[in-house]
Amino acid sequence: MISEMKTRLIVLMLILVITGIFPGHGSAFSTVNLLKGQSVYVSIYSHIYHGDHERPFDLTATLSIRNTDPKQEITLVSADYFDSDGNFLKNYVEKPVKLKNLASIRYVIKGTDKSGGSGAKFIVRWESKEPVNPPLIEAIMISTKSQQGISFISRGIAIKE
């Protein structure tokens, strides 16, 4: 009786997976939205706070932009850096940059640069002539002091297509 119930449960799960009602993680059947451009918001932390007295722990941040399309290039139009209050600080892309298929580029904000504050952010704009896989845009923050170290990422989110 128990083995018959297990068999029925396995068959039911297979039917759900095959029909897409209960897709598996990373399923090859998932759809990829091809786009011709976006504006992407990426959180940056020049420091985070630690301890009871909220002491700042300075961080070096790297903005990483990776063209995930295997066939088409994209054009990086701008990477505008803003502080915690939303004030524009700097555009890290002086003129449009072409990123070949599967290429990447990075921009580093030094640990000594505190101009952005703990609520800094980038707005990254990219475009393409043809619909492509959207790029992977992340910030990687890292720092070490004495025997203490920290690192984490912040993934960009599309705010405009």
Q: For 91-130, write each residue's pLDDT tens digit.
A: 999 999 999 999 999 999 999 999 999 899 999 999 999 9
Whether pLDDT at 17 is above 80: no
Please give the Cα distance from 157 to 62 (Å, whole number): 16
pLDDT (0 to 100) of residue 3: 64
Please give the Cα distance from 139 to 63 (Å, whole number): 4
| Domains of the chain, CATH where assigned | 34-160 (2.60.40)
Q: For 124-152, write each residue's pLDDT tens digit.
A: 999 999 999 999 999 999 998 878 788 99
Q: What angle do CA 61, 67, 69 make, to 5 degrees?
A: 155
Residue with tokens 């070949």: 100
Please give the Cα distance from 127 to 36 (Å, whole number): 5
Q: What is the mean pLDDT of residues 42-48?
A: 93
